[in-house]
Amino acid sequence: MHIRRLSVVFSTALCLAISSQSFSKAPPVLDHTQAQSETIIDVVSKLRTKHYRDLKIDDSLSQAFLDNYIETLDPSRMFFFQKDIDQFKKEANNFDDYFKAGKLDAGFDIFLIYRQRVLTRLESIIAILEDPSIKFTFDGSDSVELERDNSPWPKTKKEADEIWFKRIKLGLLNLKLAGKDVEEGRETLIKRYKNQLNRASQQDNADIFETMANALTTLYDPHTNYWSQRTSENFDINMSLSLEGIGAVLQTEDELVKVVRLVPGGPAHRQGDLKPADRITGVAQGQDGEVVDVVGWRLDEVVQLIRGPKNTVVKLEVLPAGASVDEKPKLISINRGKVKLEDQAAEKAVFELPHGDEIYKIGVINIPHFYFDFQAKFARDPNFASVSRDVSRLLDELKRENVDGVILDLRNNGGGSLDEARELTGFFIDQGPVVQIRTSDGRIDRNNRSAFRAKYRGPLIVMVNRLSASASEIFAGAIQDYKRGIVVGSQSFGKGTVQSLTHLREGRLKLTESKFYRVSGESTQHRGVIPDIELPFLLDADDVGESSYDNALPWDQIHSVNHAEYFNFSSLIPVLDNLHRDRIQHDPDFIYIEDQIALMKKSKERTVVSLNEKKRIEEKNQMEREAMEIDNKRRIAKKLEPYKTIEDFRKNELDKEEDSDTVAVEEETVAREKIDVDGDTLLIETGNILVDYIRLMNKPDYKQASNF
């Protein structure tokens, strides 16, 4: 399932203020303005002349816009009727001409019909929930289709009423299975839908125009977004505020707010329980605050709840990635604060691995982010923070410790400074190009080069995963193309584009204007970096990564640029891969990871949910039994006491959740967590791969040193 972004992605690492206009009680203005008409002309002009993707503004794009606009407004096909869609389709070929001329009436008309459908429906739902004569039972054979994005549009009000009544029952049953009785569930849903009604009734012409403009811009790619004046002002104000966040990049998906990634060094990253692809269903203030249900809320309003004074606690009610909607959400407590540069800093560890009679010393450098303190450098601070400076120092330390090889851990590294990625690459290769950048007009910049001789020439492995993006992919791709080291892990994110921010008549446009290419000529866009040796990763690639987004720019190739190849790994990597597979075949920790992935996939494949309470309880119990069996299989293999009952297993999971509260209170006072080698199954196995690499490269069959 591709992710359709319903709004701009915001980072709670930034201090996003919410304009008081968002909560104004005055009747909203619903007609478009002259400034908005001029702005859409400006948007069209910039898309045509500056965007990397060359799309003609014609009837074909007009049809795609209408489909995108409708799907953005009503992705589950539950508000519009088929007759509405038929009426809208009469304008399908006209929007290109309308936008070129600054005409917005047709787009506004569609939104106003949608708005009326939403208001009417929400009022009806609230009336049903408030009517004590309407009883809800959960003993029949009814079921609900979870994903309606490809379902037929309802033809009649009766058909729509039936769809919505089942949705109400689903919401009540989910709350009942999570521990609430039916009346408590009614109250929760009444609050939820009243909040949604209030928000829908306060939408104004800025909301309408922003939604419409983004339905156009996201046809080009998911990172090209229109920001209204309100959104732009909120973004600009952030640094002057006294509010702090949790350091998470969020986006809306259907009715929920989803975690895209965590900011290295941020409070959520330091606390450790919140994960990418988790979905936030509620927010509470402080340890004892009441959880506010945020299902169906706007993204900026959820961000406002999450933000608050430094060193205060925010509690998030979260459905973990892969969890079904009927699972009880877990509570995660996080201390608000700023992203600390010292908590982004690269760090090292040394661990030993035996092989036969030999003991190998392995150095690992963890790089959470390609950081660079521009302000300190500009202020001429001689101690300004820089990942390349830190890694240079750590490499010197590892050399003095006589390590046999080095692992660079870029897992979960979302990118950062391109200059730092280039500098870091230069520590491992001699002079040569690092990355190519192609602009929308076809010009190719090959001037991002390593200027010096390599600092470290020993055995090297780079670790990546699905959350390694942008600058991480440039570095890993260069190491792979130069045959300088081996890349181990899972397919990386695939973020290989560059955006710029430009002012419009009203608001701003974030626009994709360039694309990264490796020295081999391959783009990092969409495909990312494919590891030489694969390790499992719990998150589904369909849920995270560039390829999960609608209209992401495709992978492609340009001409390669001359570059050295330091080693011939073609015959070595298959041998290393076979040794790796033999080693993990009976490893209880790897078996556990693979079993977890299979269980999450099984849960995700369920697209139809029963409204029978007994059946749902049995399904839930069965999933818990399977999870306990997976855990017990590992515990027995590791000579640990297995869980005897499902109650023991549940208690352990509850204890983990309660530990989260303790972590939130103590997190600011504890020392920064160091690299946990013993608890990192994938890191230890990567060390074993590096040991095999060192051993085999010293044999005549594989020793392929060139001019390096």
pLDDT at 615: 96
| pLDDT over threshold 90, residue 325 | no
Active site residue 470: yes
Q: How far is CA 486 from CA 391, 392, 478, 483, 701, in A?
A: 19, 20, 11, 7, 18
Query: Do 41 and 56 lie in a common domain?
Result: yes
Residue 73 lies in a domain: yes
* Contact between 486 and 691 (Cβ < 8 Å): no
Catalytic residue among 96, 273, 481, 540: 481
Percent of residues, the chain, with pLDDT higher than 90: 66
Q: What's the pLDDT band for 659 if we cut at 50, 70, 90?
A: low
| pLDDT over threshold 90, residue 380 | no
Query: Do 409 and 527 lie in a common domain?
Result: yes
Residue 387 lies in a domain: yes
Residue 702 lies in a domain: no
Q: Which is higher by pLDDT, 574 or 538?
A: 574
Which pLDDT tens digit goes with each residue over 591-626? 999 999 999 888 888 889 999 999 999 998 999 999
| pLDDT over threshold 50, residue 173 | yes
Query: Do 77 and 172 lie in a common domain?
Result: yes
Residue 595 lies in a domain: no
Q: Which residue among 225, 252, 283 closes a domain?
A: 225
| CATH number of the domain that residue 465 is part of | 3.90.226.10
| pLDDT over threshold 70, residue 703 | no
pLDDT at 146: 85
| pLDDT over threshold 90, residue 193 | yes
| pLDDT over threshold 70, residue 11 | no
Range 285-292 contact pairs with CB under 8 angstroms and sequence separation of 24 or more: 285/312, 285/313, 285/314, 285/315, 286/312, 286/313, 286/315, 287/313, 287/315, 287/333, 287/661, 287/664, 287/665, 289/315, 291/315, 291/317, 291/331
Least confident of 50-54, 437-441, 475-479, 696-700: 696-700
Residue 10 lies in a domain: no
Q: How far is CA 561 from CA 54, 480, 523, in A?
A: 25, 14, 13
In the structure encoding, which two tokens stand for residue 628, read together?
A: 């306990």
| pLDDT over threshold 70, residue 343 | no
Catalytic residue among 495, 532, 660, 680: 495
Query: Do 547 and 398 lie in a common domain?
Result: yes
Determine the longest span between alpha carbons in the chain, in angstroms: 84
Q: How far is CA 217 from CA 69, 338, 400, 532, in A?
A: 11, 32, 53, 36
pLDDT at 648: 86
Domain that holds residue 387: 341-568
Q: Which is higher by pLDDT, 424 or 337?
A: 424
| pLDDT over threshold 60, residue 658 | no
In whole angstroms, give the CA distance from residue 418 to residue 425: 11
Q: The pTM is what?
A: 0.85
| pLDDT over threshold 90, residue 302 | no
Query: Do 357 and 470 lie in a common domain?
Result: yes
Least confident of 15-29, 146-160, 215-229: 15-29
- Using the Cα atoms of residue 637, residue 638, residue 642 and residue 646 in order, give the sign of their dihedral: negative
Query: Do 278 and 347 lie in a common domain?
Result: no
| CATH number of the domain that residue 284 is part of | 2.30.42.10
Residue 608 lies in a domain: no
Catalytic residue among 470, 490, 514, 548: 470
Query: Do 165 and 275 lie in a common domain?
Result: no
Q: Which residue among 165, 196, 225 closes a domain?
A: 225
Looking at the DSSP assignment, which residues form a beta bridge with residue 416? 370
Residue 416 lies in a domain: yes
Across 556-576, average pLDDT = 93
Q: Which is higher by pLDDT, 20 or 532?
A: 532
Query: Do 244 and 215 lie in a common domain?
Result: no
pLDDT at 348: 97
| pLDDT over threshold 60, residue 657 | no
Chain position carrying tokens 């039972």: 137
Q: How far is CA 354 from CA 145, 319, 535, 573, in A?
A: 53, 41, 21, 21
How many domains does the chain contain in total?
Answer: 3
Q: Which residue among 568, 601, 632 closes a domain?
A: 568
* Contact between 583 and 685 (Cβ < 8 Å): yes
Chain position carrying tokens 């004590």: 132
Query: Do 357 and 280 lie in a common domain?
Result: no
Query: Do 415 and 442 lie in a common domain?
Result: yes
Q: Among the ranges 275-289, 477-491, 535-549, 613-627, which has the highest mean pLDDT value?
A: 477-491
Across 514-532, average pLDDT = 97
Residue 633 lies in a domain: no
| pLDDT over threshold 50, residue 218 | yes
Cα 261-262-268 angle, rounded to 5 deg: 145
* Contact between 291 and 303 (Cβ < 8 Å): no
- Using the Cα atoms of residue 523, residue 526, residue 527 and residue 528 in order, give the sign of their dihedral: positive
Average pLDDT, the chain: 88
Active site residue 495: yes
Query: Do 220 and 315 lie in a common domain?
Result: no
Query: Do 257 and 212 lie in a common domain?
Result: no
